[in-house]
Amino acid sequence: MNLRGAQAARFFAKPDPGTVGALIYGGDAMRVALKRQELIANLAGPGADDEMRLTRMSGAEAKSDPAAVLDALKAVGFFPGPRVVFVDGVTEAQGGPILQALSDWSDGDAALVVTAGALKKTSKLRKAFEAHPKAVAVGLYDEPMGREEVEAAIAAEGLSLTPEARRGVEALSQQLDPGDFRQTLTKLSLYAGGSEVDADAVALMAPATVDADTDQVIAAAAEGQAGAIGPLMQRLSGQGVAAVTLVIFATRHFQQLHTAAVAGGVGGLRPPVYGPRRDAMERQVRAWGARKLEGALALLMETDLTLRSSARAPDMAVMERAFIRLAMMARS
């Protein structure tokens, strides 16, 4: 099945326990990551990670060991409860093991959750999940959150809002990307401490400079300005920005640069880029080149895996080190 809009939002919030698989795809990695987290939490329930009922692997790992996905689906866990196999960042070229696992799924197997970037209508992955009677495909696009999504996010934080505060929150949902919006609601919840939230509190918690600071630190890394990274990271840390958010945004930026480098310039990017940012990206594409950008993306993928692992290193320190390494690469 192909789900959209309110139908997709209801599926993420309350998935059918009999779901065989779900493909979540889109060009905005943050939107895909948030929906994937929500779906896995609602499919597997609390404690899935600790009880080893959640198996993770990347698209590259699935391709290198074609039997790994199907073996993970059919593995019997030590703890009772629903199981999920999550395969992250699958490309069309890595889709073979996913298609085989979906075809060979049988009763009692784990649910299969797959994420991917933007996929064309002709994608074999899309067609397989859309055609399967017990699987779904959900495409996420760069558009404001719907009313049901906003209401679900407010309810998840247990917020009580005055009518004026609710209007302010709804306005923020149209201005911020989903990750920043949810972080803002979390800060509101902590600030309110169970009390009703008014419009002044919404205005106080709204991120005034987060987007600008995030863009600045990514630009500093891309242009080799290592000395600027430390102060910017301190500011972002003080604003409550998560390291995972930074690595997702940085990956998206360097993916755009790589696409432009391969295509011969930013003119081929969709959606197109205009203004000062276009000039900066053109400059960065010339300075890096496709091969170095591939190295940058590999570094960011390694950093993303480290942040999502059980490593004890402070997340923001890991991210700052990655940005500095990128800045060094830009200079070389």
Mean pLDDT, each 10-residue run in order, the chain (332 residues):
86 91 89 89 86 91 94 87 93 94 94 93 94 94 75 88 86 75 86 86 69 83 93 83 85 88 69 66 90 93 84 86 95 86
Q: Are the C-beta atoms of residues 177 and 31 closer than 8 Å to each other?
A: yes
Where, residue-wise, is CATH 1.20.272.10 in the chain? Answer: 210-331
Specify the pLDDT at position 78.
80
Specify the pLDDT at position 268.
57
Specify the pLDDT at position 160.
92
Name the pTM for this structure. 0.55
Distance CA 251, CA 299 (A): 10
Where, residue-wise, is CATH 3.40.50.300 in the chain? Answer: 2-139
Specify the pLDDT at position 272.
56
CATH class of the 2-139 domain in this structure: alpha beta
Distance CA 217, CA 210 (A): 11
Which CATH fold would you assign to the domain 210-331? Zinc Finger, Delta Prime; domain 3 (1.20.272)
When computed from its CA atoms, the radius of gyration of the chain, rounded to whole angstroms, is 21
